[in-house]
A and B are shown apart, each in its own frame.
Chain A
């Protein structure tokens, strides 16, 4: 359930406003006065449970600070998309990993131990860099 929760409580003085809360992606957006957002950030960093009854242990990670809500939303969408792609990759890797992996394992085993140390020519790199600078 991804629910956008516009909070329009009209109390005159509110603590940081929760502009958006998505359970599905475990993401939320806070609105805070610019001078004090670090206070809230620090508080978030030190919170270690979901603030519900018998909340699970968790970590609150501030991933973007911005002056406009538009940029924050864009970042949220970007991250969600990236996460889905990464999860798909992980799933794919989990389900059909083995042909290459088996090859590599076999190669590792058959290789003699001392052939792993391989010195790549060490002479000219430093000189090249210097001449590039000049």
Chain B
């Protein structure tokens, strides 16, 4: 019996000041950095984007290595 070893990554999406749209004035900087993400973002879109980025960085090799066995 072989167990598949995994890692779980906790990721925050942060919006550093000066990069995007300016939030409403009066909002503390901390809150602006951690503002909510748009609801259009879906899990599958996210996974696809990460896969695309990995493929871009590491080629087909990377795109293959990032795969896990579906559970």
Which residues does A use to contact B, with CB under 8 Å? Answer: 1, 5, 7, 9-19, 21, 23-37, 39-44, 46-47, 50-53, 55-69, 71-72, 75-76, 79, 83, 86-87, 90-91, 94
Contacts and interface: CB of A to CB of B under 8 A. Distances in A.
Contacts of B44: 7, 9, 18
B70 A18 contact: no
Nearest to A60: B11
A25 to B, nearest CB: 7
Interface in B19-51: 19-21, 26, 28-31, 34-51
A69 B66 contact: no
A18 B6 CA distance: 13
Q: What is the size category of the interface that chain B forms with chain A?
A: 35 or more
Given A57-B20, A60-B13, A62-B9, A15 B51 contact: yes
Contacts of B31: 87, 90
A26 to B, nearest CB: 4
Given A39-B58, A65-B7, A67-B7, A28 B39 contact: no
Given A13-B68, A16-B47, A34-B5, 10 more contacts: A18-B47, A30-B11, A42-B57, A51-B48, A62-B9, A75-B10, A87-B30, A87-B31, A90-B31, A94-B28
A68 B40 contact: no
Contacts of B67: 13-15, 33
A76 B16 CA distance: 20
Given A43-B54, A56-B38, A34 B7 contact: yes
A52 B66 contact: no
A-B interface, 5 closest residue pairs, ranked by CB to CB distance from nearest: A51-B49, A90-B28, A64-B10, A18-B43, A26-B13
B6 A67 contact: yes
